[in-house]
Copies of this chain bind each other. A is one copy, B any other.
Amino acid sequence: MDVGTAEAVESAGPDARTAALYARDATCRGLGITLDEVGTGRARMSMTVSAAMVNGHGTAHGGYLFLLADAAFSYACNSYGPVTVAQAAQVTFLAPAAAGDELTAEAVERARSGRTGIYDVTVRDSAQKVIAEFRGQSVMLAGRPQAG
């Protein structure tokens, strides 16, 4: 399978497309973010907070909490086939996380209208405590037909 082009990714089946996206996802691979599950309009990813992800206050940097949620959002909204990107996102931080915590982000589609989608992502620690709630607004890029 040639996954070197976006066109190849789109014409492949959902599993192959997702695998190709992940294979090229230097961010997730580099940070050890795993794609645990993906389906139409949803995805679940996990990340262990490393010592390198801590801020000056000694807790997990909010930027990494957002990044994990944003990654799950991205796989959920790209599950339909056409290239889809984040247009906006909002996050509320509910509890701090610490180095060593294993976090899971669960993204589910909330609504779709035309090329716009709304996805909710909940970030939890291994005790199922909610660390952050994220809502993303996606847009499918024009001229990118739905893959078969």
Main secondary structure of the interface of A (DSSP, over half): mixed
Q: Indicate how many identical chains form the complex.
A: 4
Given contacts A63-B66, A133-B111, contact A56 B91 (CB under 8 A): no
Contacts of A95 in B (CB 8 A): 113
How many of A's residues come within 8 Å of B, CB to CB? 54
Contact between A90 and B135 (Cβ–Cβ < 8 Å)? yes
Contacts of A24 in B (CB 8 A): 56, 58
Point out residues on A near B: beta carbons under 8 Å: 6, 20-28, 30, 51-58, 61-64, 66-68, 70-71, 74, 78, 83, 85-96, 110-111, 113, 116, 118, 120, 122, 130, 133, 135, 137
Question: Which 7 A-B pairs rank lowest in CB-CB distance, beginning with the nearest?
Answer: A63-B67, A21-B56, A94-B113, A27-B61, A25-B56, A90-B90, A63-B70
